[in-house]
Structure 1
């Protein structure tokens, strides 16, 4: 008979997060819920092979796999795991993708370029995935690339709790800043949650990858500034924005970024920058270099993802997790005594 509990399986992208979700799910359900026993490995030519050792016939399966670096390998792992589960007669396959790779290729910016995120969506559906749970998609319209349900969670409610906890007593000095015009909606939402003013850093590029000029739109003098964005890759723009904001009169500059890609020289840049702190989630498994960086702090998303998985399994609302007040009891151990109003 199928198990009365949801079942988790994970690729190699972020096993720490998958195990944390399993631990929290065990606590919620009052029984041990571990990862389904399987092997996800590579042949000598780097071909990916998956073998599931447990019976999954008729089971409600959740694959936990970020499509982060190496993006192609992790994406193929996700697709092959889904195919293995479908061919093993799983009742439903949900892909839990905390970081959705290829999301920055959501439109044609020039002639003769692909829309890779649409291609990835087609591949996932063809592999047998019936539902997607992700967080802070780079472009919200990617949900429309799928012909299956997509639940896009937001990190801003968790960030709001973290800001209210760490800036307690100084909230009147806090200002939220969007690092570019495209991220204004995301920054505005967080600013409204914590009742803080909003400013924008307008950047102009002479050529791709190089910012020639930055201008602060709004008042940041004497403020503890918080830059809000969804992705931090090489951290070049983020560190330059911190300099511009300090020159504009900010007393401190912090950053809250959902997905810490942090590739190449990012950690070194952040260490040497004027950023007092960078807060990221563990949607991408942090490297040893990221963990060793003194001014980078990691907020766990396992509590939110666990609740979202249980809500999907129960057939209850996932949108309830968009509210900070709903997440407060879930994150109570992290921020004890914090009363959200």
Structure 2
């Protein structure tokens, strides 16, 4: 393989989040290459990508709602880049749909994360870049290298200004403990943990709280907010344990399905902080603040292109 740093850097923007792709390209001092995605009446897609021959190509396409359409489009874009003569093709998937399906809960289920990862590799991806994946097990499942970028420092920087020093960081379930500890190291604040049981896709039962929140503002930190069920259950436990009704919620990803708007709107949440791994319309949630991961992704791409370490940008397992 030729010297990567000598190749031209090319950014391909899928239709899932062209604004983020443009921000990444701008931070790198380049423009996205011309790309057309033709849509047929029956729903089929046919992308055409120009100007990638001999390039170090990065296809930016989160696979958020509509997950399946955006995933198939990403697969076709990867194939188009490979057939267009790209030297190296990296799939940049800021929000990776199917990440929550990293194992079977019962016999007869598919492992959706593994299927999606295999498909990306088969379509032509040499490497995958994701932001705060729901499951760090993705790295072990994927047939090509995976770079898992952390958005915690970006959000922690905002939380330092938004919340008082007396605030307690709250992991809304056991899966969020390690990210919460990362926030705690950066913000120098204590951590509390809610133990929950998921009843269904939207219903969550919170069982107990470990940690002291009485009379203190709480900052709930998680990797994503989808239905809002986990956040709702955590808020109710916090209030039951005497937390101040002045709660902040921070998450890397904000899919925010329609039901989440009403659910979160009923809760004493003063601020909902997310990043732009997915498009987030201003009207989708009141009290919403958005920080961009564009510079983070651009930094990662620059380091990959120049053969530099990404260690300081990665999720800690």
TM-score bracket, normalised by the shorter chain, equals over 0.9
Partner of 1:24: 27
Distance 1:240 1:13 in 2: 31
Which residue among 232, 241, 252 is the counterpart of 1:239? 232
- Correspondence 1:109 to 2:105: yes
| CA RMSD of superposed structures (Å) | 1.8
Which residue among 20, 31, 49 is the counterpart of 1:34? 31
- Correspondence 1:310 to 2:302: yes
Which residue among 5, 9, 22 is the counterpart of 2:8? 5
Per the alignment, in what secondary structure is the counterpart of residue 44 of structure 1? coil
Distance 2:62 2:42 in 1: 23
Structure 1 residues 157-166 or 226-235, which shifts more? 157-166
Distance 1:208 1:302 in 2: 30
Q: Offset of 1:114 from its aligned partner?
A: 0.7
TM-score (norm: length of structure 1): 0.86
TM-score (norm: length of structure 2): 0.93
Q: Flag structure 1 segments of 5+ consecutive residues without an equivalent.
A: 27-32, 324-341
- Correspondence 1:141 to 2:137: yes
Partner of 2:242: 249
Which residue among 75, 81, 104 is the counterpart of 2:77? 81
Q: Flag structure 2 segments of 5+ consecutive residues without an equivalent.
A: none
User: Is the Cα contact below 8 Å between 1:214 and 1:241 reproduced in 2?
Assistant: no
CA deviations over 1:73-121 (Å, ceiling 9, x no partner): 1001111011011111100000110000000110011011011111111
Partner of 1:158: 154
Per the alignment, in what secondary structure is the counterpart of residue 265 of structure 1? helix
Distance 1:6 1:55 in 2: 11
Distance 1:206 1:11 in 2: 35
Partner of 2:54: 58
Per the alignment, in what secondary structure is the counterpart of residue 78 of structure 1? helix
Q: Offset of 1:207 from its aligned partner?
A: 5.6
Distance 2:198 2:90 in 1: 40
Distance 1:206 1:117 in 2: 21
Q: Offset of 1:221 from its aligned partner?
A: 1.0
User: Is the Cα contact below 8 Å between 1:279 and 1:297 reproduced in 2?
Assistant: yes
CA deviations over 1:170-190 (Å, ceiling 9, x no partner): 31x021111012221221221
Q: Offset of 1:289 from its aligned partner?
A: 3.0
Q: Offset of 1:229 from its aligned partner?
A: 0.6
Partner of 2:46: 49
- Correspondence 1:220 to 2:213: yes
User: Is the Cα contact below 8 Å between 2:39 and 2:46 reproduced in 1?
Assistant: yes
Distance 1:71 1:256 in 2: 22
